C-alpha cells in the first residue's frame, strides 16, 4: 500500500487522505448502506488521527450506532463514523488508485437485497 492514500467525492469539494494503517476492508450488504449508496458499500478503516479531511462533510445518523458522512454538494457517501470508535471508515470507491487495499470480508450478507447474488471472490462472509 502507498504511504498515503487519497480520495475525494464526485465533485471534488471534499477530499481526504489516509496516512496510517488501513484495516477491515469490507463490502457491506446491509439495507442502510444499500439505501445510502444505491447498492453495496465498500469501505476500510484507519485510526481517526490518520484520516485527514478537507472540505465540509455533512453527517446523518441513521441509527444510534453511527453517522454517515457525505458531501453536501454532490451527495457522495464517504465516511461511516461509529459512535465512540477510535477508527473512521472511509469509502473505497472514492480512493485514487492504486490503493494496495484488498477486500477482507463481506458483512451483513443475510440482509443483502433479493435482486443480486454475492459472487465467489474467496473472501469470508458474515451473516
CA dihedral (87, 99, 5, 53) positive or negative: negative
Confidence of residue 30 (pLDDT cuts 50, 70, 90): very high
Please tell me the predicted confidence (pLDDT) of residue 85: 97
pLDDT in tens, 43-53: 999 999 999 99
- Domains annotated on the chain, with CATH: 5-111 (2.170.150.70)
pLDDT band at residue 118 under the 50/70/90 scheme: very high
Q: Which grid cell is 77?
A: 457517501
Residues 56-81: tens digit of each pLDDT: 999 999 999 999 999 999 999 999 99
Are 60 and 66 in contact, with CB atoms under 8 Å apart?
no
Is the per-residue pLDDT at 116 higher than 70? yes
**CA–CA separation, 7 and 17 (whole Å):** 6
Average pLDDT over residues 88-105: 97
- What's the mean pLDDT when you consider all of the chain? 96
Higher per-residue confidence, 2 vs 47? 47
Spatial separation of the C-alpha atoms in residues 50 and 52, rounded to whole Å: 6
Tell me, what's the pLDDT at 29?
98
- Global pTM reads 0.94
For the cut 70, the answer to whether the pLDDT of residue 2 exceeds it is no
Closest CA to 55 of 10, 2, 88: 10
Residue 3: predicted pLDDT: 81
Amino acid at each position: 500500500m502507498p504511504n498515503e492514500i487519497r480520495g475525494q467525492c464526485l465533485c471534488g469539494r471534499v477530499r481526504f487522505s489516509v496516512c496510517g494503517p488501513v484495516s477491515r476492508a469490507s463490502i457491506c450488504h446491509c439495507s442502510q448502506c444499500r439505501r445510502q449508496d444505491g447498492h453495496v458499500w465498500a469501505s476500510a478503516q484507519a485510526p481517526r488521527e490518520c484520516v485527514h479531511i478537507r472540505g465540509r462533510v455533512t453527517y446523518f445518523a441513521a441509527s444510534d450506532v453511527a453517522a454517515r458522512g457525505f458531501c453536501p454538494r454532490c451527495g457522495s457517501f464517504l465516511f461511516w463514523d461509529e459512535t465512540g470508535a477510535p477508527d473512521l471508515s472511509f469509502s473505497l470507491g472514492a480512493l485514487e488508485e492504486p490503493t494496495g487495499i484488498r477486500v477482507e470480508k463481506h458483512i451483513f450478507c443475510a440482509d443483502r437485497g433479493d435482486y443480486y447474488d454475492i459472487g465467489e471472490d474467496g473472501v469470508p462472509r458474515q451473516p
